[in-house]
Amino acid sequence: MADPRSAYTQSVDFYAGLRPEELLCAYGSPLYVYNEAMLRLRCREMRDFIPLHRLKVCYSAKANANPHLLEIIRSEGLWVDAMSPGELLMNRRAGFSREEIFYVCNNVHSEELALAAAQSRIVSVDSLSQLEDFGLAAPGAEVMTRLNPGIGAGHHRKVITAGKETKFGINPEDIPQIHEICARHGLKLAGLNQHVGSLFMQPEAFLRAARRLLELAGGFSGLKYLDFGGGFGIPYRKYAGEARLDIASLGRACADLFGGWAVKNAYSGLFILEPGRYIAAEAGLLLGTVTAVKNNGPTRYVCTDMGFNILPRPMLYGAFHDVEIYRPAGESASGAAELPQAIVGNICESGDILHRDYPLPPIDKGDVLALLDAGAYCYSMASSYNQRPRPAEALIRPDGSVRLIRRRESVENLLDLIP
């Protein structure tokens, strides 16, 4: 094998016998590539996560809302959440029924609340003021309210969504007003939800916050939904052997906690989880091409066609995506020692850096690179900054066939909205 680095994707048979270069030839570079078998595996892990029949897993569509991927997720028996009319549209396109969609939104107009009430099983609002709006938009409807449990977690302060420093959720002290507003509009308070933040690898904060939500839920009657949000992390440092979140023991802890609480409180409703990243991240990667290699001062720059417009996570959060290096068979792989290299994109900003000084085998012009674990919050956050169209998305099926699941945006598409 001539590849300087491909052990991880080989170990999980990500390409199902195909070569990454072939995919780029067929669909162009850069390219998002997804693996259906991996997506199904993660759905099944989450679905079977808690040995409790009244658990429902709602995939959080914000992680990746490609309807073809959503369709696979639906076929595994998961439900879905949405937080915008666009996500509702994608969910409906994938075949999710109204009853299978939870609308968990933040700071929206009344028209959107009315649309969400019509097109989803239940809407969660996250302020008293939005509860008022919902009461006017859908009087008499069922509603969930998002509470701030005061305990947050996440890989970066920008994605911690509970605790003191966040715009999310209703303060538990305001619960009396929740009852008052619901009574005034004839709303039935059918659920409580929360979300501590995105990407925890240790379960303590999630469990503490879950206990807190249950404690608060004990003060309500008639609840049908208790939704603990998402945040389940994945190991991004594949080549450093980062450990996985121990999902089985977390599942057992949740089963004990939820099951015990349900018995004690005679609760016959659903427990909901909303994982996004855990389902989608490892099922996708971004392939791109090295267009130049150069030295500037002490730094060796590996220049690629993967700008932060198409993979914003490193620029936004300093996030780490592991790298594989492919070189067409027949050319010798360099046996040289690893050296620190900066991997950069093609966008006009100095911050357009995927890795600053990652020690890797020497990368050459023409090499194909993969940024791993790019199935969640990558394409869904991509833009056409610098007027660079967004890439295509391709799906590798379990039988090794490939399906184009989103066409590459063209430069002409950039004119679509210009009158």
Q: Which amino acid is at 49?
A: F
The token pair at 221 is: 């009657």
178 vs 280 by CB, closer to ligand LLP? 280
Chain centre to alpha carbon of residue 257: 26
394 touches ligand LLP by CB under 6 A: no
Pairwise CA distance, residues 266 & 35, whole Å: 42
Pairwise CA distance, residues 404 & 400, whole Å: 13
Ordered DSSP codes for 31-89: EEEEEHHHHHHHHHHHHTSSS-TTEEEEEETTS---HHHHHHHHHTT-EEEESSHHHHH
* Span near ligand LLP by CB under 6 A; candidates 33-41, 67-75, 194-202, 254-262: 194-202
Residue 347, CB-side half-sphere exposure with 13 Å CA sphere: 26
- Find out whether 178 and 184 touch, Cβ atoms under 8 Å: no
Residues across the chain: 419
320 touches ligand LLP by CB under 6 A: no
* Contacts with ligand LLP, 252-281, as mask; x by CB under 6 A: ----------------------xxxxx---
Tokens 């309500």 belong to which residue?
220
Site for ligand LLP in 124-183 (CB under 6 A): 159, 161
Q: Which amino acid is at 381?
A: M
- Among 29, 145, 198, 346, which residue sits at the site for ligand LLP (rule: CB under 6 A)? 198
Question: Cβ of residue 377: shortest distance to ligand LLP, in angstroms?
Answer: 3
Choosing from 43, 58, 348, 378, which is the catalytic residue?
Answer: 348
Residue 131 dihedral angles phi and psi, to the nearest 5°? -65, -40
32 vs 377 by CB, closer to ligand LLP? 377
Question: Cβ of residue 296: shortest distance to ligand LLP, in angstroms?
Answer: 29
195 touches ligand LLP by CB under 6 A: yes
Q: How many residues bind ligand LLP (CB under 6 A)?
A: 21
DSSP-derived 3-state class of residue 79: strand
74 touches ligand LLP by CB under 6 A: no
Catalytic residue list contains 43: no
31 vs 147 by CB, closer to ligand LLP? 147
203 touches ligand LLP by CB under 6 A: no
* Span near ligand LLP by CB under 6 A; candidates 177-185, 225-233, 350-358, 362-370: 225-233
Which one, of 412, 332, 398, 389, lies nearest residue 30 by Cα? 389
Counting DSSP H helices and E strands in the chain, the numbers are 12, 17
Question: Cβ of residue 326: shortest distance to ligand LLP, in angstroms?
Answer: 25
Residues marked active site are found at 348
Which residues contact ligand LLP by CB under 6 A? 60, 62-63, 104, 159, 161, 195, 198-199, 229-232, 274-278, 313, 317, 377
